[in-house]
C-alpha cells in the first residue's frame, strides 16, 4: 500500500490527524504504472498497425501554445513539425519520441524520419508535409500515454487537421490517422471517439481503461478531502476537468489527478475554514507532476515477484471460467502488460494448453489437465520416527 512507504509520510503529516485515514485511502487508491510497461504496450499496438502499411509517420501528442495553432507549418511544407516546445510541461512527449527512434531503428524505411541540419550535426525528426507526400506515407500514427478529459487529444487532432493538405488527403482516403493511447477514461474516450467518427477522420486504439476516483467506494470522502485541503486559489481541486484519475506514470503524473497531489503552494491557506491548523506552505507528493525517484524505488521494493507457474495458473483459471474470450478482454481482466500476456499465451499455446481462433482464446483438454495439477496443494510428508535419515556418509 502506497500510504505505508516512508517517502509519503511527510505529505501525510500535512493533514490533521483526523483526516489522515482519508488521505491514506486517497494514496492507496492510486495505481502506479512503470514507464517501461507504457512503452512496451504502445510498441506492440503500433507494430500491429505497421503491418497494414508500407510506410508510416509517427508523432507524439503534445500541448499546444495557442488555440488556432497548426501542427504542420502553413507557410513551409518542408518544415518538420515541432515535437515538443521548450516551455511545455512534463508529459509523454519524450518517451514517445524515444519509442519513435526505436521503431525507426527496427523497421528503418517503414517508420519514416527526416534529417534536420544543425550547426552541431543532424537531428532526426518526424516527417514534414513534403516528406509525407514524397515518401507516399499512408498513415499518421499519433501516440499518447493518457486520454483524461479528451480535450488535449482533440485539440491536437484539430491542429493536425488545420493543414489543408492533411484535410484533403484524409477526406480523399489517401491518408489514415491512427490514434494510439495507453489508457483512457470513459469520458475522454467518448469525446475522442466522437471526433474520430465525425467524417471518419481517424481510428482510435485504446489499450487500457483508466481508473478514476469517481468509481471509488470512498469517492465522497476523498473528494471532500481534496476540496477542503486545496489551496484557496485552486480552481481545479479534482484535477483538470474534474476527471480525478487514479493513475501515476513512472515518467510523470497527469494533470487530471487531485491538486493536493501535485500543486505547490508557497503561501498556503486551505479552502475549508474548518481546518484551523495547517502548514505555512503545501508540499505536494508529485511536485510539478514529477514522480520522485525515492517514491518509485520504495514502490519497487514492496512489489512481489510473481512466478511463471502462478501466471500460467491464473491465465488457465480465467480461461476455465470464460471458455471463449478475446485477447483484448483477457488483457483487461488480467491487467497484465501486453508483452506479458503475449508471452504467457504463446507459452501455453506451445504446450497445447490453449488455442487461438480469430482472436478468441480457448482452454484445451490438455490445459484443463495442467490446471488441475497446478491447483493441487503441495503435499507435506508426515513425520514418522521410522523414517530413515542418513547422518553420515558410508
One domain, residues 165 and 72: yes
Q: Is residue 387 in a domain?
A: no
Q: Is residue 135 in a domain?
A: yes
One domain, residues 116 and 226: no
One domain, residues 25 and 46: no
- CATH code, domain with 84: 3.40.50
Q: Is residue 145 in a domain?
A: yes
In the prediction, which pLDDT does 200 show?
79
Please tell me the pTM assigned to this model.
Answer: 0.86
Count of Cβ atoms closer than 10 Å to residue 352 Cβ: 12
Q: How many domains does the chain have?
A: 3
- CATH code, domain with 318: 1.10.10.10
Share of the chain above pLDDT 90, in %: 73
Which residues form the domain of 350?
A: 308-375
In angstroms, the CA 249 to CA 289 distance is 10
One domain, residues 293 and 314: no
> What φ, ψ does residue 376 adopt, rounded to 5°?
-70, 135
Q: Which comes out higher in pLDDT, residue 168 or 89?
A: 168
In the prediction, which pLDDT does 122 show?
76
Residues whose CB falls within 8 Å of the CB of residue 127, separated by 6 or more in sequence, listed in order: 57, 80, 112, 113, 114, 135, 137
Name the domain boundary from 302, 333, 354: 302
Looking at every residue in the chain, the average pLDDT score rounds to 90
Asked whether 102 and 43 are in contact (CB, 8 A), the reply is yes
In the prediction, which pLDDT does 87 show?
56
In the prediction, which pLDDT does 85 show?
64
One domain, residues 19 and 40: no
One domain, residues 66 and 178: yes
pLDDT band at 306 (very low <50, low <70, confident <90, very high): confident
One domain, residues 78 and 115: yes
One domain, residues 138 and 114: yes
Asked whether 175 and 139 are in contact (CB, 8 A), the reply is yes
In angstroms, the CA 216 to CA 373 distance is 37
**Residue 133, exposed/middle/buried by CB under 10 A (0-12, 13-18, 19+)?**
middle
In the prediction, which pLDDT does 241 show?
94
In the prediction, which pLDDT does 339 show?
86
Q: Is residue 71 in a domain?
A: yes
The answer on pLDDT for 139 being more than 70 is yes
One domain, residues 290 and 185: no
| Gyration radius of the chain's alpha carbons | 25
Q: Is residue 22 in a domain?
A: yes
When mean pLDDT is compared across 73-77, 84-88, 371-375, the lowest value belongs to 84-88
Residue 21 to residues 3, 220, 239, 273, 302, Cα–Cα distance (Å): 9, 14, 21, 20, 21
One domain, residues 42 and 29: no
Give SS3 for 175: coil
One domain, residues 253 and 356: no
Which helix H or strand E contains 43, and what residues bound it?
A: helix 35-50
Name the domain boundary from 251, 281, 302: 302
One domain, residues 240 and 191: no
Q: Is residue 389 in a domain?
A: no
Share of the chain above pLDDT 70, in %: 93
Residue 85 to residues 62, 112, 120, Cα–Cα distance (Å): 8, 21, 20
CA atoms within 13 A on the CB side of 360: 8
Q: Is residue 258 in a domain?
A: yes
Name the domain boundary from 280, 302, 324: 302
Asked whether 209 and 184 are in contact (CB, 8 A), the reply is yes
Give SS3 for 215: helix
User: Cell digits for 58?
Assistant: 509517427
Q: What is the pLDDT of residues 40-85, one digit of tens each?
A: 999 999 999 999 999 999 999 998 888 889 999 999 999 998 877 6
In angstroms, the CA 264 to CA 8 distance is 15
- Mean per-residue pLDDT, 364-383: 78
Q: Is residue 384 in a domain?
A: no
Amino acid at each position: 500500500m502506497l500510504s505505508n512507504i516512508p517517502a509519503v509520510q511527510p505529505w501525510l503529516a500535512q493533514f490533521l490527524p483526523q483526516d489522515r485515514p482519508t488521505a491514506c485511502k486517497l494514496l492507496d487508491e492510486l495505481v502506479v504504472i512503470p514507464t517501461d510497461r507504457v512503452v512496451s504496450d504502445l510498441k506492440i499496438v503500433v507494430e500491429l498497425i505497421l503491418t497494414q502499411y508500407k510506410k508510416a509517420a509517427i508523432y507524439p501528442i503534445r500541448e499546444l501554445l495557442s488555440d488556432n495553432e497548426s501542427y504542420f507549418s502553413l507557410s513551409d511544407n518542408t518544415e518538420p513539425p515541432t515535437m515538443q516546445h521548450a516551455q511545455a510541461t512534463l508529459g509523454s512527449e519524450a518517451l514517445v519520441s524515444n519509442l519513435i527512434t526505436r521503431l525507426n531503428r527496427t523497421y528503418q524505411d517503414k517508420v519514416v524520419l527526416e534529417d534536420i541540419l544543425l550547426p552541431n550535426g543532424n537531428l532526426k525528426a518526424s516527417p514534414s508535409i513534403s516528406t509525407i507526400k514524397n515518401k507516399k506515407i499512408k498513415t499518421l500514427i499519433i501516440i499518447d500515454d493518457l486520454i483524461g478529459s479528451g480535450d488535449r487529444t482533440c485539440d491536437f487532432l484539430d491542429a493536425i487537421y488545420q493543414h489543408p493538405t492533411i484535410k484533403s488527403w484524409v477526406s480523399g482516403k489517401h491518408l489514415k490517422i491512427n490514434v494510439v493511447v495507453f489508457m483512457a477514461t470513459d469520458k475522454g474516450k467518448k469525446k475522442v471517439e466522437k471526433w474520430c467518427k465525425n467524417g471518419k477522420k481517424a481510428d482510435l486504439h485504446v489499450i487500457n481503461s483508466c481508473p478514476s476516483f469517481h468509481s471509488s467506494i470512498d469517492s465522497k470522502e476523498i473528494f471532500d478531502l481534496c476540496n477542503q485541503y486545496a489551496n484557496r486559489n485552486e480552481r481545479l481541486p479534482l484535477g483538470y476537468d474534474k476527471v480525478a484519475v487514479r493513475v501515476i506514470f513512472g515518467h510523470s503524473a497527469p494533470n487530471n489527478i487531485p491538486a493536493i497531489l501535485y500543486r505547490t503552494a508557497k503561501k498556503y491557506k486551505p479552502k475549508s475554514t474548518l481546518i484551523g491548523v495547517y502548514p505555512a506552505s503545501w508540499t505536494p507528493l508529485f511536485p510539478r507532476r514529477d514522480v520522485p525517484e525515492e517514491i518509485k524505488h520504495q514502490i519497487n521494493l514492496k512489489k512481489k515477484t510473481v512466478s511463471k507457474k502462478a501466471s500460467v495458473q491464473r491465465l488457465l483459471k480465467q480461461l476455465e471460467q470464460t471458455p471463449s474470450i478475446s485477447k483484448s478482454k483477457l488483457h483487461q481482466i488480467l491487467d497484465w502488460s501486453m508483452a506479458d500476456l503475449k508471452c504467457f499465451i504463446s507459452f501455453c499455446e506451445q504446450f497445447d494448453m490453449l488455442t487461438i481462433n480469430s482472436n478468441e482464446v480457448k482452454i484445451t483438454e490438455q490445459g484443463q489437465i495442467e490446471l488441475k495439477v497446478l491447483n493441487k496443494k503441495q503435499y507435506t510428508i508426515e513425520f514418522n520416527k521410522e523414517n530413515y535419515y542418513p547422518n553420515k556418509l558410508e
